[in-house]
Structure 1
Amino acid sequence: MNIIHMRYALVVAETKSINKASERLYVGAPALSRGIKELEADLGVLLFVRSAKGMFLTPDGELFVKYAEKALKQIDDIENIFKEGSTMKERFSISVPRASYVATAFARFSKRISQNKEIELFYNETNDYRVVNNILKDEYRLGILRYSNQYASYYNDMMKEKGIIGELITEFKYVLVISEDSPLSKKEVIKYDDLKGLTEIAHADPYVPSLSFSEVKKDELPEREGNRIFVYERGSQFELLSSNPNTYMWVSPIPKELLERYNLTERVCIDNNRVYEDILIYKKEYKLTHLDNMFIEELVKAKREVFR
């Protein structure tokens, strides 16, 4: 079986298009199409259904992709180990929600890394769909999943079906983070109505292109009247909140040093009673490394400091 043709098939499966796969792989569409046909002939099965709308996996194709991804990853690992002059690097990787206590734990963890070893750390802030997908594709070894606890049974069933272990980190309610100069900071009690006329800062990718997640996410972030500023990372949200006293954001509790650095404060909204859970996830067959355990130690410390 041709390894190059296997790689072709994975990209076609992802893009659902010979032309799009051709652009990504820098391979001519006719050569790519021939490679897929030769692979199907070698296997004796049809991997794709061809139509005017694109290339779609058959049941045999879905099974092939599942095993081909693992096989090619192992081949890549072997090549990396035995490349001339290369040394085996330790690796830590995690996908997380945009949570400041998690980022604080990661920063502290990074300080503990030995300077005498070659170690690569990967830290990806994203939404829950990609957190799960990164784990399933072996792109990241650990993940932190965040959801409202009313959907706990849904997520538990999903993790069980996909062979994912989930361990509770913490439960919490979202709080408002605002500038010390915000008009809200002077109120003793804050309700939803007090947010009218102010601009909400929100992360730009809460919605995900998955039917299995869409209804859950729409309920998580209901539509509201008023202005919104969408951001993709936490640094810009703090700058906006600090410089514009007419903004606010719903967040999990933030470490004290960050609030002080940006002249921010946290306030409870009495109308918001929904409880959320942060769950550490990884594949069932995955064995935690000493780097994983070192990070988890820092995560537990940061959680205890913030969620009192």
Structure 2
Amino acid sequence: MTSVTLQNLKYVVAVAEHGSFSAAAKALYISQSTLSSAIKELEAELGTQLFLRSNRGIQPTPDGEDFLRYAREIVEQSRALERRYRHRRYAPTRFAVSTQRLPFAVRAFQRFMEQLSWNSYDIAIRECPTYTIISDVAAGKSDVGVVALHDQYIPALEKTFEINHVTFTELERLPTYAFLRRSHPLAKRDKVSMAELLQYPFVTYDQEADRSEYTEEVVFHQIAEKTVHVSDRCSKVALVRFTDAFSIGPDLTNSNADAFHSGMGEIVAMPVEEISDSLHVGYLLQKNVAVSAAMAVFLDYLRDDIIVLKKTL
């Protein structure tokens, strides 16, 4: 007994579209006898005639018209399915990282990008607040989140991670430094005090939408009288490079902690007497998601760059 197959449906649709067995067979790259036999076997299986054959060609019978309505729909759905998964086979490989404004994360991403051998890819790195990083990783928008967290806020953040089904893996602990331009009045010191720093403008990321436990910057117990809020790292670097403003954190591009810009020496990193807290630097992953090959490569570069940073500071 012959069953109705997708191939049978394609044969019927082709015969109806081309109006003859010979034209349909040519379009299907099969012999006319093979096509004719397949249609006859299908008609016998269904117990009805699908086409009227004459010297002037063929015409669908009423049952044939009814059969064709369903056959065309199924054939079109099968073609759509083929197109969908054929496109996926050649779709670009995707990889995304969400990170706090941490230069070493960007350096790791740069190295990751340079070694890519994929023919086609769509990759992204997003610098954003910590709560956005958690959301990105939880939603699968980013594969990896890179964060630097304060020791005193870890318990509260662990609850946030649990609620959002993400895991935090610590890679290293990094000290916090003040970043000043090389010509800054305090730049010749071995270390500086908060009182000395607070004589100058403090450049900080705008925390209006972020809570203190979410920021990678140390939260001052003293209130700075001169505060400059910025939303991105480029603005912060420019202000520190060209004014007497200072910044606080574990890393800042163009500083003496930046091995990629060690010859520039535009910004110096200095210990702050009153700040002894270290930052827990690590990464966030979606809970119960296996580490992919791309993730593993990026995380290796991230580890390496954090080690270089720690040795340099």
- The answer to whether residue 126 in structure 2 is matched with residue 124 in structure 1 is yes
Amino acid at match of 1:152: I
- The answer to whether residue 249 in structure 2 is matched with residue 247 in structure 1 is no
Structure 1 CA distance for aligned equivalents of residues 112 and 300 of structure 2: 9
Match among 254, 263, 271 for residue 274 of structure 2: 271
Shift in Å, 1:139: 1.4
**TM superposition score normalised by structure 2:** 0.65
Structure 1 CA distance for aligned equivalents of residues 103 and 138 of structure 2: 25
The runs of 5 or more residues in structure 2 that have no matched partner are: 1-80, 252-256
Structure 1 CA distance for aligned equivalents of residues 310 and 84 of structure 2: 42
1:306 to 1:83, Cα distance in 2 relative to 1, 3 A: same
Structure 2 CA distance for aligned equivalents of residues 79 and 269 of structure 1: 62
Amino acid at match of 1:239: A
Secondary structure class of the residue paired with 2:246: strand
Structure 2 CA distance for aligned equivalents of residues 227 and 259 of structure 1: 30
Aligned to 2:57: none
Query: Identity of aligned pairs, percent?
Result: 12
Shift in Å, 1:165: 1.9
Structure 2 CA distance for aligned equivalents of residues 248 and 193 of structure 1: 13
Contact map agreement 1:238 1:262 (CA 8 A) in 2: no
Structure 1 CA distance for aligned equivalents of residues 178 and 84 of structure 2: 48
Secondary structure class of the residue paired with 2:183: coil
1:170 to 1:292, Cα distance in 2 relative to 1, 3 A: same
Contact map agreement 1:173 1:275 (CA 8 A) in 2: yes
In terms of Rg, which structure is larger?
Answer: 2
Shift in Å, 1:276: 1.5
Q: How many corresponding residue pairs?
A: 224
Q: Deviations over 1:91-111 (max 9, x none)?
A: 111111111111111111111
Contact map agreement 1:167 1:279 (CA 8 A) in 2: yes
**Counterparts of residues 26-175 of structure 1 (less than 5 Å):** 81-82=84-85, 87-114=90-117, 116-175=118-177
Secondary structure class of the residue paired with 2:167: strand
The runs of 5 or more residues in structure 1 that have no matched partner are: 1-77, 209-213
Amino acid at match of 1:107: Q
Shift in Å, 1:135: 1.4
Q: Deviations over 1:32-55 (max 9, x none)?
A: xxxxxxxxxxxxxxxxxxxxxxxx
Shift in Å, 1:152: 1.7
Amino acid at match of 1:159: F
